[in-house]
């Protein structure tokens, strides 16, 4: 199956042109690891460049790639970098199993396979002119970070922008330095809460949904973007709905095991939808009948 894409491509011959080309959406391209940064005990961020030359990797906030660790396997991971900086590809991953652990052990200079970008974006266009409330749980901040970069780069297009971020413990907080920087901005409200306070933590304690009742946003003119464990997303949707946000203005990012990533194999079927092709970002309105039903 082939589709036409119009973007900068990486050509082995190092001939780079912006042109309309026919690219196999299943084609894996080699990318070289520039560096790995450890975010927490089990989570790390990798930066990659095309191994065969070329420069740009265009994507929309919220999209994901299929990352292939040679000889181990392939997994879907959201792009966590800045969509405005297309010269480097950034992914933040939690090491949970065979492929993600092998990825954590890669060294600068190692090569992995990338195909993508795939999936639907966060509704950053639809949110223009509205307040934006972002609710992240744990590693869920990674798929939302590209959207935060977009909102901050286009700050005047939005009303209030609020991030509510919850993790199990202070040690699980991702992107600590960046969160500090964001917190110091007058035009971005950042509130963090941990389930369990450990060490010198002086901030909020409690699940992230406890931050919603006081969050400063206009229920009649807001868009919400949520990513985290399904149980957290369920209670977040309930709380936002209590504040008056309707389901069509609440967006969630869903996860299921994937194989093809392009709507061919059926592995990620979710009711009548495929998460890889129709999502992973959905309006809650469009999936409310299947939400919380495992492996539909």
- Residues of this chain that bind ligand FES (CB under 6 A): 258-261, 263-268, 274, 276
Cβ closer to ligand FAD: 78 or 209?
78
Shortest distance (Å) from residue 113 CB to ligand FES:
16
Least spacing, CB of residue 275 vs ligand FES, in Å: 6
The CB-of-131 to ligand FAD minimum distance in angstroms stands at: 25
**Closest-CB residue for ligand FAD?**
97
Spatial distance between the Cα atoms of 148 and 83, rounded to a whole number of angstroms? 10
State which residue, 202 or 294, has the beta carbon closest to ligand FAD. Answer: 294
Six-digit token pair at 74? Answer: 């392939």
CA atoms within 13 A on the CB side of 138: 15
Cβ at position 7, least distance to ligand FES in Å: 22
142 binds ligand FAD (CB under 6 A): yes
Looking at beta carbons only, is 77 or 173 nearer to ligand FAD? 77
Kindly tell me which residue out of 10, 44, 57, 64 binds ligand FAD, with binding defined by CB under 6 A: 64
Look at the block and give the residue holding tokens 């079927």. 269
The residue (of 182 and 282) whose beta carbon lies closer to ligand FES is: 282
What separation in angstroms does the CA of 42 have from each of 93, 105, 180, 197?
A: 8, 12, 21, 19
Can you point out the beta strands (E) in 56-110?
Answer: 64-69, 73-78, 89-94
Residue 65 within binding range of ligand FAD, rule CB under 6 A: no
The binder of 104, among ligand FES, ligand FAD, none, by C-beta within 5 to 8 A per type, is: none
Among ligand FAD, ligand FES, none, what binds residue 209 when CB lies within 5 to 8 Å by partner kind? none
CB of 274 to ligand FES, least distance (A): 4
Q: With H, G, I as helix, E, B as strand and everything else as coil, classify residue 192.
A: strand
CB-nearer residue toward ligand FAD: 217 or 273: 273
Q: Tell me: does residue 97 bind ligand FAD (CB under 6 A).
A: yes
DSSP output for 103-161: HHT--TT-EEEEEEEESPPP-TTTTTTSEEEEEEEGGGHHHHHHHHHHHHHTGGGSS-E
CA distances from 231 to 117, 196, 286 (A): 27, 18, 18
Q: By CB under 6 A, what part of segment 200-239 binds ligand FAD?
A: none
44 and 36 Cβ atoms separated by less than 8 Å:
yes
CA nearest to 47, candidates 18, 81, 24, 78: 81
Residue 90 near residue 149 (C-beta atoms within 8 A): no
| Nearest residue (CB) to ligand FAD, 82 versus 255 | 255
When binding is defined by CB under 6 A, the residue of 45, 60, 93, 193 that contacts ligand FAD is: 93
| Cβ at position 269, least distance to ligand FES in Å | 7
């Amino acid at each position: 199956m082939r589709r036409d894409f119009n973007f900068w491509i990486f050509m082995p011959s190092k001939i780079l042109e912006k042109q309309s080309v026919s690219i196999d959406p299943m084609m894996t391209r080699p990318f070289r690891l520039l560096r790995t940064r450890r975010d927490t005990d089990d989570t790390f961020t990798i930066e990659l460049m095309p191994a065969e030359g070329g420069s740009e990797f265009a994507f929309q906030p919220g999209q994901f790639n299929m990352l292939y660790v040679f000889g181990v396997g392939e997994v879907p991971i959201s792009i966590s970098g800045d969509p405005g900086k297309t010269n480097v590809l950034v992914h933040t991953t939690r090491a949970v199993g065979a492929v993600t652990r092998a990825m954590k052990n890669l060294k600068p200079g190692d090569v992995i396979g990338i195909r993508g970008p795939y999936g639907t974006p966060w509704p950053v266009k639809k949110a223009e002119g509205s307040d934006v409330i972002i609710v992240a749980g744990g590693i869920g901040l990674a798929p939302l970070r590209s959207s935060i970069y977009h909102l901050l780069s286009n700050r005047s297009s939005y009303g209030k922008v609020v991030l509510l971020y919850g993790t199990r413990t202070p040690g699980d907080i991702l992107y600590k330095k960046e969160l500090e920087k964001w917190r110091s901005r007058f035009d971005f409200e950042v509130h963090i809460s941990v389930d369990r306070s450990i060490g010198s933590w002086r901030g909020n304690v409690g699940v992230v949904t406890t931050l919603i009742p006081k969050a400063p946003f206009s229920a009649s003119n807001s868009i919400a973007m949520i990513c985290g464990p399904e149980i957290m997303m369920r209670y977040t949707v309930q709380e936002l709905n209590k504040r008056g946000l309707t389901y069509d203005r609440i967006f969630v990012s869903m996860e299921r095991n994937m194989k093809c990533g392009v709507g061919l194999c059926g592995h990620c079927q979710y009711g009548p939808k495929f998460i890889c092709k129709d999502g992973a970002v959905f309006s809650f309105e469009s999936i409310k009948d299947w939400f919380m039903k495992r492996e539909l």
